[in-house]
Chain A
Amino acid sequence: MQEATFLILTALADGSQHGYGIIAQVGEISGGRVRLRAGTLYTALDRLRADGLIGVDREEIVDGRLRRYYRLTPAGRKLLAAEAARLHAHATAALTRLNLAGGVA
């Protein structure tokens, strides 16, 4: 799973978000390191919807602009949990080996 995909799914883990909200959440989750652009975001959203990992929750018109809210589907939640566990296991293994080799720099 690509990092942007992982971060988008993570942004939706605790509730539905609209496009701008996802960009803001991804920036926050990554500590400002990942700055999603609209083109990248909508390519990913299109793919994730096609794969059944996210769905449309609702729509709103705010200041004359359309806001479409996305939510994780059960399949998306399951995939995110599995990916998070996998990354966690890898990170734990890396840190353990670094410690064994003489401590983290």
Chain B
Amino acid sequence: MTESERLERGYRRIVACYPRSFRRESEEEIVAVLMATAQPGQRRVSLAEYADLIRGALRMHRGPRLPRPLLVAVRLTYVGAAAELAVLTTLLMTLASLTSARIGSYPVISAAQWHAVLLGHLTAVAVGAPVLMALWAWMACANARGHPAGRVAFRVVHVIITLGVIAEVDPSLAQYGLGAAIAAAIMIQVQLAAIWLIFYPSADPLPYRPHRQLDAAQH
């Protein structure tokens, strides 16, 4: 084995730490650059090169390969999900006082009935919040990868959000008055901001299409 081959093997051993998707697409390219930038007569990977490559590998493992607007959109989605969790917690903690307040307003309906009605509403929120959160994250990823289902999902989610707006003005939540209105307004703003970011820039929502670009270049 020549010195050059030994050096290349050393580089490849470190590049093996990179994510598989990166290696599949760029291993040959980065090894070519490493070999081109190696010092004449260099036999092994230098400490500085080693540190630089490991740092690069860690960064690529840490961050998803999403366009920045989509990354922000995903974070906003988590903020929205956290807000929904906060609302859910508030509802659970105040369920007893809410039930008694309802009984005061509508004495015809029993406490057990009111409890059942409110629990039904809470169950919908408890199931809906994680489902919506997962849907948003998936939608962001699907859009980033250029999957047409991402756009279809967007339409569906848009309808869900609209329905959510209607649900927020549900009279059963009127007990919370201004607080509920503010919480709902914040959540809707967050969701709308995420929608806008997912489709930014509107002219080219799928900027990262390396394989498509390569295909286009080759044909």
Contacts and interface: CB of A to CB of B under 8 A. Distances in A.
A complexed with B: yes
A43 B57 CA distance: 8
Contacts of A23: 33, 37
Contact of B217 (A39, A49, A57): A57
| Residue among A19, A58, A73 with most chain B CB within 10 A | A19
Interface in B39-82: 48-49, 52-57, 59-60, 65-68
Q: Interface extent on B, as a size class?
A: 35 or more
Nearest to B11: A38
B201 A75 contact: yes
B217 A42 contact: no
Given A37-B49, A37-B52, A58-B217, A49 B29 contact: no
| Residue among A38, A67, A68, A73 with most chain B CB within 10 A | A38
B152 interface: no
A41 B33 contact: yes
A28 interface: no
B207 A73 contact: yes
Interface in A1-56: 19-20, 23, 37-43, 46, 49-52, 55-56
Interface in B169-197: none
A55 B218 CA distance: 14
Interface of B: 22, 26, 28-30, 32-37, 48-49, 52-57, 59-60, 65-68, 144, 201, 204, 207-208, 210, 213-214, 217-218
Given A50-B67, A65-B28, 20 more contacts: A19-B32, A20-B32, A20-B33, A37-B52, A38-B33, A38-B52, A39-B52, A39-B53, A39-B57, A49-B210, A50-B207, A51-B68, A51-B207, A52-B207, A56-B217, A59-B217, A65-B32, A66-B28, A66-B29, A75-B204
Interface of A: 19-20, 23, 37-43, 46, 49-52, 55-59, 65-68, 73, 75
19 contacts: A19-B33, A20-B32, A37-B53, A38-B33, A39-B54, A40-B56, A42-B29, A42-B30, A42-B33, A42-B56, A50-B65, A50-B68, A51-B68, A51-B207, A58-B217, A66-B32, A68-B26, A68-B29, A75-B207
